[in-house]
Amino acid sequence: MKKLMIVCGSGIATSTIAEGKIKEYLEKEGVLSQVQTYKGNIAEYVNQIDNYDGFVSTTIVPDNVKDKVINGVPLLSGVGVDKVYEQIMTKLNLK
């Protein structure tokens, strides 16, 4: 089971939206059963990035972890969404 953490500033609003869109996509791809999603706020989970197979953020992350984090803002704006899904699939080794 792959573990995917989705974070935002508060752990409530935009991470919930992003999680819904990601789950919808994973369902469409037939791999949702292979992924456990979690959500929370960036402050609480930023030091636990390595505990997850994938880490998506809809808020700014510290420079020292930027290369490990998938930018989830396109899930909110609708621009560049396919790239986000592609990065998730690659990071979770589902492709």
pLDDT at 7 over 90: yes
Look up tokens 């706020």; give the residue.
41
Contact 56, 8 (CB under 8 A): no
Contact 2, 35 (CB under 8 A): yes
pTM: 0.95
What is the CATH class of 2-91? Answer: alpha beta
pLDDT at 95 over 90: no
Look up tokens 């030091």; give the residue.
47
List pLDDT tens digits, range 19-73: 999 999 999 999 999 999 999 999 999 999 999 999 999 999 999 999 999 999 9
